[in-house]
Structure 1
Amino acid sequence: MKTTTELIDEMNRAEEGDHVTVRTDTEEYGGDIEATHYAAPESREEGVVGIDVRIEGGDFDGDLLEIRSTAGSNTQKFSRPVVRFPEEGDEREVLDLSRSDR
């Protein structure tokens, strides 16, 4: 299991088109990054680091998986990333995230 800092660093290095594997406590997903997101926490707005992954294979083939970490404007400390399927809204903590050449 990677630390929160290691996961955030990996998400910051990610680029569109990279292939990633994401592991939670119940599932492992693989796919290509469709989009990356970053907004610094500001005085009144929450910050976010995120990637959107189009899943390849398995029961969720073709589905979009959102991975996000947020930071409140008062703490400016990013939380452990969570994965979420946009249509379901269920969230799970990310245990491991790695980029690969496939």
Structure 2
Amino acid sequence: AIAELLDNAIDEVNNGATFVRVNKFTNPRDGSPSLLVQDDGGGMDPDALRCCMSFGFSDKQSDAFIGQYGNGFKTSTMRLGADVIVFTQNQKNW
């Protein structure tokens, strides 16, 4: 499941990202373990984020990208825990 999240971040390297970070920390509210995956890729606008949360949607058309089927993010986050929070921005919504 963690590999799927890393694959998505690494795909952004093909779009110009210069770093991918993974941090494990303890949630200060309830002491539960949390995982933070960051990259400085292109980000998503609100429509792209909605599509990202829909099963079977992928805009990755090239073989250069790891995920092409549109299920990795959703299934990996469901396996890792009860909640996922996505923070994203792109040049359109700065």
- TM norm. shorter chain > 0.5: no
Comparing both structures, which one devotes a greater share of its residues to strand? 1
TM-score, structure 1 normalization: 0.29
TM-score, structure 2 normalization: 0.31
